[in-house]
Structures are given as C-alpha cells and as structure tokens.
Amino acid sequence: GVQAIPDSRFAAYRTNHAGYAELVGTALNHVSYTLAGRIDDNSDFDSHTTYRVGTSVPLSSSTRARASLSTAYNAPAFSQLRPTLYTAGSPGLSPERARSWEAGVEQTVRSGLARVSVSYFNQSFFDLIQYLAGGPPEFKGGYANLAEAESNGYEMEADLAPPGIVSASASFTHARPRVARVSSGYAGSLVPGEALIRRPTHSGTASMKLTPRRGSFALTASYVGERPDVDFNQFPSPTVTLPAYTRIDVSGLIDIWKAGNGSSLSLTGRVENALDREYETVLHYPAPGRTILVGARYSGSL
C-alpha cells in the first residue's frame, strides 16, 4: 500500500482592523514632540490600544535631551495557536505586550561635523511567548506565556560627517534581557533572573560610507555577542551558549543615466556576509553564507 506522508497543513482565518493617528510638531524654544496612538481590533483577541510619546529639548546650541515612552502589542501566530507536525497547539495563548521608555543626551560637535549620543532604555514584556520542548513519546513542543520579562541597558551612538565623500557611524548596545516573573501556569524551565534565550548582552555596528558624485558605497560590520539558547535536540533540553560573531556586508549604487527632469537609472549591488563567516542565530540552524544580490533602480516619472 501507499504510506501517507504527514504534513502540517491547516486552515485558519483572522481579520484585523486598525486605526492610528500621529502628531509631530515643534513648540517654543525648539522643543520637538511626537504623540501617536493606535487601536487594533483582532478577530481572535480583544481590542488593544498602543501609544508613543516623545520629546527632544535643547539644553544648549549643541546639546539636546530626549525621552520617549511607548507600548506595543503582538498577537500569537497561527502556528503557535494550532497544532503542526512538530508542535502541539496552544489555543490559550495571550497576545504579547510591551512597554518601553528611554532617556538620553545628544551632543553635536563643530556645527554638525560629528554627533554623539548616550541613552538608557528600559523595556518590560508581558505575556512573552516562549517555546517549550515536548517530552516522550512524541516530543512535540508547544508555546506558553511567561508572566513578565525585562531588558534594560544603555546605547551609545556616534556619527562622523566631515566635508567630502567619506562619512562613518557606529553604535554599541549593552542590555540585560532577563525573566522578571513567571505565571503559575507556566510549565517551562525559565526562572526569574535567568537570561532570555537568543538575546545578546553586547551588540554593535560600525559602518563607513563613500558618496562620490555618481554613486555610493558602504561597508558595514555587525557584531553580536554571546547569547544563550536551548538545545531542543536533547531531552531534557540543556541551555547552551552560542558564540559571538561579526558579519561584514558591502553595498553600492552607481548612477548610469540621469535626465534633466530628475529621472535616473542606477545599478545596485549588495554582498551579505562578504567574508562567508559561519555562524548560527538559532542553534543547529546555520545562517546563510556569502550572498550576492545585483539589481537596478529607476527613479522618476513614467
């Protein structure tokens, strides 16, 4: 006889209606502000309201203080709610919610030649969805809501734009993503104070850009530090450490045609992971090697 091959197909339907509004302006003494709000009405869940407020205040002609407060909402995916070939369904999942605030100072040097900023951020996650490994005999995992998680730390940024065709920028982030509290119904192995998986403590980027008259070229280095992950190939699943890695990307654009009305045609190119570095963003799932993308871009009217 013919043996049926199992699959993970299912049919599901969901509608989402949303409305949002945003107000951006400048008040007296060059104080800028942002006020934004959004309402999401999801057919699978109740309505959720999120918002963002922010301001930037000049302290001197070259120094500004900035602060913001925002919330976020994320509904569970279909594959998290319903059973698949490798997971059990979790129909009782609640949407993820988050609240974040940050405050910082920005310093401009020599009339915009350079800019340096330092900021502190604090993020709280509620009902964060986490994968749970399954036990024998089927070893089908599932998903559950943590009660609360948090991530706080600081970020530093620097931009350099001297006269000419060369500019550069860099950023560094130090964060402490941790489990803050677990719900009574949570059956996973995470405990309060434990680091969240796949979230590095240290990360950063550095880039240099050349902008000659007929194009632009950029070299970017991205660093991701060590972070914990869980080896779901074993039961019980142990926590392991994914090693740090640095990825180099190269991109460029060359104008090959320009018209007097502003229309232009350009060739574009990008090389991701230019050094063909081997690394994993998720345990046992190697990231793509060197990837080359070539294209064209047209700007103007038709």
pLDDT tens across 228-260, in order?
Answer: 998 888 877 888 999 999 999 999 999 999 887
Is a pLDDT exceeding 60 seen at residue 1?
no
Q: Taking residues 126-134, what's their average pLDDT?
A: 87
Digit-coded pLDDT (tens) for 12-39 = 788 999 999 999 999 888 899 999 999 9
Residue 155 has pLDDT above 90, yes or no: yes
Q: What is the pLDDT of residue 190?
A: 82
Residues 6 or more apart whose CB falls under 8 angstroms from that of 39 comprise 18, 19, 20, 47, 48, 49
Query: What does the alpha-carbon distance between residue 148 and residue 186 come to, in Å, rounded to a whole number?
Result: 11
Mean pLDDT of 289-295: 97
pLDDT of 133 strictly over 90: no
The answer, yes or no, to whether residue 166 has pLDDT greater than 60, is yes
Residues 6+ apart with CB under 8 A from 4: none
Q: Is 17 helix (H, G, I), strand (E, B) or coil?
A: strand
Mapping DSSP to helix (H, G, I), strand (E, B) and coil, where does residue 30 land? helix
Amino acid at 2: V
pLDDT at 254: 95
Q: Going along the chain, which residue ranges are E strands?
A: 16-26, 32-42, 48-58, 63-74, 96-109, 114-126, 129-132, 142-145, 148-160, 166-181, 202-210, 215-224, 227-230, 239-242, 245-258, 264-272, 280-282, 285-286, 291-299
% pLDDT > 70, the chain:
96
Structure tokens at 165: 């065709």
CB within 8 Å of 221: residues ≥ 6 apart? 205, 206, 207, 246, 247, 248, 249
For residues 249 and 274, the answer to whether their CB atoms sit within 8 Å is: yes
Q: What angle do CA 229, 233, 234 make, to 5 degrees?
A: 95
CB 260 within 8 A of CB 287: no
Lowest mean pLDDT among 52-56, 193-197, 290-294: 193-197
Mean pLDDT estimate for the chain: 91
pTM reported for the whole predicted model: 0.85
Work out the pLDDT band at 298, boundaries 50, 70, 90. Answer: very high
* pLDDT for the residue numbered 6: 60
Q: What is the pLDDT of residues 40-85, one digit of tens each?
A: 999 999 899 999 999 999 999 899 999 999 999 999 999 899 888 8
Q: Percent of the chain scored above 90 by pLDDT?
A: 70
* Phi, psi angle pair for 28, to nearest 5°: -60, 150
Structure tokens, 222: 């991205």
Amino acid 268: pLDDT = 97
Look at residue 27 and give its three-state secondary structure.
coil
Distance (Å) of CA 13 to CA 20, 82, 122, 260: 23, 12, 35, 50
Mean pLDDT throughout 220-232? Answer: 94
Distance from C-alpha of 188 to C-alpha of 195, rounded to nearest angstrom: 14
- Helix intervals (H) in the chain: 78-81
Report the pLDDT value the prediction gives residue 4, as an integer from 0 to 100. Answer: 56
Residue 225 pLDDT grade (very low, low, confident, very high; cuts 50, 70, 90): very high
pLDDT band at 7 (very low <50, low <70, confident <90, very high): low
Short-list 103, 98, 107, CA closest to 127: 98
User: What does the alpha-carbon distance between residue 283 and residue 229 come to, in Å, rounded to a whole number?
Assistant: 7
